[in-house]
């Protein structure tokens, strides 16, 4: 996925997040998801957090608190595939999964 244009990654991954949010809301809306929250730190580029599905939109459109223009983009964490957010970002090129 490293060769994929960033805009394409953002669009595809935002769609995936929205599908997840809609599916979770159909189940009651109290579900939480693991999110690799991008930071502006070179030594700690991602922080693993769990958020309500109702907060996903803010993380992917940049309106949630703590998003700066120098931050790495957020991505949904895939714990069955990766041990850490850093490993996931390195494999997928980072951002908005």
In the chain, what are the domain boundaries? 6-92
List strands edge to edge, sheet with 46-52. 46-52, 32-38, 75-76
pLDDT band at 1, cuts 50/70/90? very low
| pLDDT of res. 85 | 95
Give pLDDT tens digits for 27-81. Answer: 555 789 999 999 999 999 999 999 998 888 888 887 777 777 888 889 999 999 9
Cα 22 vs. chain centroid, distance in angstroms? Answer: 16
| pLDDT of res. 35 | 93
| pLDDT of res. 70 | 87
pTM of the model: 0.64
Q: Between residues 68 and 12, which one has the greater pLDDT? A: 68
Of 22, 26, 1, 21, the closest CA to residue 81 belongs to: 1
């Amino acid at each position: 996925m490293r060769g994929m244009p960033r805009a394409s990654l953002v669009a595809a991954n935002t769609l995936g997040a929205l599908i997840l949010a809609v599916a979770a809301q159909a189940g009651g809306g109290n579900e939480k998801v693991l999110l690799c929250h991008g930071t502006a730190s070179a030594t700690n580029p991602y922080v693993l957090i769990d958020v309500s599905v109702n907060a996903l939109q803010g993380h992917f459109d940049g309106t949630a608190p703590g998003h700066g223009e120098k931050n790495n983009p957020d991505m949904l964490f895939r714990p069955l595939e990766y041990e850490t957010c850093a490993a996931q970002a390195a494999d997928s090129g980072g951002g908005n999964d």
